[in-house]
Amino acid sequence: MAWSKLKQQLESFLSPALHGRVEYLSTSYRYLPDKAGLCYIAVDKKNVLNMSDTLIRWYQTELEIKNDSDIQIPISNDEIEAVRKETKGNVPEDRLKVIARSRKISDYAKELFSAQSTLSKSNFNVIATKFLSISIEESLESNDILLNILALVDRRVGKKRMMNMTDKMKLKHPIVQYFFELRLRTL
């Protein structure tokens, strides 16, 4: 699909409160075939999500994600019980929580790093086209950063659904959290 048509369709799904604030932009270089173009999302005329660089934090390694103090990972009693069973009760109670959190953040770091590494201009077009053909629920539940963003700024996501997603958004990439907060402020 041509970029102009894709952009027009994406903008037709924008929440009314975000019209004029959120823009989808693309550049390409006709006479420089070895130089890839860029795709980015701008909010209030500032490039917020550039497929290679962004104002939101990009993680370089999984260890960087694990050591980020801003990431809040909730641990359930079931996860602590699973660790207790594996260790056969030989580990102190406070250490069980540390082990459970460590396992959960390790899995989270792998998912986040994988999702972050797939963003590029060509992926933007593919994922945006996919967004237009799947349900809004699939986009919101996806692990794909761009699908989450496109769904969050969509007019089909209402106030009640946004409020119900608050806990789920804590486990998403910072750029997804940024768009979630942006949308909450416009409700």
- Give residue limits of the domains in the chain: 3-52+120-186, 62-115
33: exposed, middle or buried (Cβ count in 10 Å: 0-12, 13-18, 19+): exposed
| Backbone torsions φ then ψ of 62, nearest 5 degrees | -65, -35
pLDDT tens per residue, range 40-96? 899 999 988 876 544 445 667 777 877 887 777 888 889 989 888 988 888 888 898
pLDDT tens per residue, range 3-47? 889 999 999 999 999 999 999 988 766 665 555 567 789 999 998
CA distances from 35 to 27, 30, 38, 62, 131 (A): 11, 9, 10, 29, 27
What pLDDT is attached to residue 164?
Answer: 93
- At 120, is the pLDDT very low, low, confident or very high (cuts 50, 70, 90)? low
Higher pLDDT, 53 or 185: 185
Higher pLDDT, 113 or 167: 167
